[in-house]
């Protein structure tokens, strides 16, 4: 990944109204497994510091709980306004049961969280890295879809609290 090819848009739920900030550095987790997407997390360094306001606040990180309800926030490539999908955090057993019919079933690992929104709801290509929030707190980042988006299979997320020590050490 080349930092100059990416930027952040902050401070708005509309891409056109947000502040665009270039990324100068991308630090990928040293144990990232590209084949299985384990430890699928990276830190980005913005070109300038954020100015916090009513529309831009630091994320509060929380541990995730099975059966909690969360919201994934992201943008469709054809829309300016952020979209929100509701998901339920599944246990490993529930996730494996829903994954049984998937063509390319991945085995989840420590540091991964399974979320399910139902048929017609799910992560799609380009959603990777989007935040999964529970009660307004960041709990995970979108990692991959078990199958194509919205087909009724669960999606996998990277558990932020699991990687917290690495995050703090590398900030």
Residue 148: predicted pLDDT: 76
Q: Tell me: do 44 and 75 sit in the same domain.
A: no
Whether residue 169 lies inside any domain: the answer is no
| pLDDT tens per residue, range 123-135 | 887 788 999 999 9
Cα distances from 171 to residues 9, 15, 167, in angstroms, run: 20, 26, 6
Apex 28 CA angle, 171 and 154, nearest 5: 110
CA separation for the pair 124, 119 (Å, rounded): 13
Both 109 and 159 in one domain: the answer is yes
Burial class from Cβ neighbours inside 10 Å (0-12, 13-18, 19+) for residue 42 reads middle
Give the span between the Cα atoms of 75 and 104, in whole angstroms: 26
- Residue 23: predicted pLDDT: 93
Q: Where are the alpha helices (DSSP H) in 10-141?
A: 92-99
Q: Which residues of the chain have pLDDT under 50?
A: none
Whether 123 maps to a domain, the answer reads: yes
Q: What is d(CA 125, CA 168) in angstroms, rounded to the nearest whole number?
A: 29
Q: According to the model, what pLDDT value does residue 35 have? A: 87
Q: Is residue 42 part of a domain?
A: yes
DSSP state of 14: B
86-120 tens-digit pLDDT? 999 999 888 888 777 665 555 667 899 999 998 98
Say whether both 19 and 92 belong to one domain: no
Q: What is the CATH number of the domain that holds 35?
A: 2.40.10.10
Cα-trace Rg, the chain: 16
Question: Which of 36, 57, 78 corresponds to the end of one domain?
Answer: 57
DSSP state, residue 163: G
Q: What is the pLDDT of residue 104?
A: 56
Cβ neighbours of residue 16 closer than 8 Å, sequence gap 6 or more: 80
Q: Quote the domain boundaries for residue 108.
A: 69-163
93 and 28 housed in the same domain? no
Instruction: Report how many domains make up the chain.
Output: 2
The predicted structure's pLDDT at residue 103: 55
Same domain for 136 and 105: yes
pLDDT at site 1: 64
Q: Among 127, 36, 16, which residue's Cα sits nearest to residue 76?
A: 127
Is position 62 within any domain?
A: no
Calculate the alpha carbon distances from 21 to 8, 45, 51, 102 in Å: 5, 10, 11, 38
């Amino acid at each position: 990944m080349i930092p100059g090819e990416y930027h952040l848009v902050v401070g708005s739920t509309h891409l056109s109204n947000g502040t665009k900030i270039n990324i100068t550095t991308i630090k990928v987790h040293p144990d990232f497994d590209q084949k299985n997407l384990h430890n699928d997390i990276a830190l980005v360094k913005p070109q300038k510091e954020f100015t916090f306001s009513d529309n831009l606040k630091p994320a509060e990180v929380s541990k995730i709980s099975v059966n909690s309800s969360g919201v994934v926030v992201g943008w469709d490539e054809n829309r300016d306004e952020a979209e929100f999908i509701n998901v339920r955090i599944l246990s490993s057993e529930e996730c494996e049961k829903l994954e049984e019919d998937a063509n390319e079933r991945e085995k989840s690992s420590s540091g991964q969280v399974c979320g399910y929104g139902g048929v017609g709801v799910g992560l799609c290509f380009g959603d990777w890295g989007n935040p999964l929030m529970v009660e307004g707190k960041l709990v995970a980042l979108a990692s991959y879809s078990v199958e194509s988006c919205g087909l009724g299979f669960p999606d996998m997320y990277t558990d932020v609290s699991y990687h917290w020590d690495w995050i703090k050490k590398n900030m």
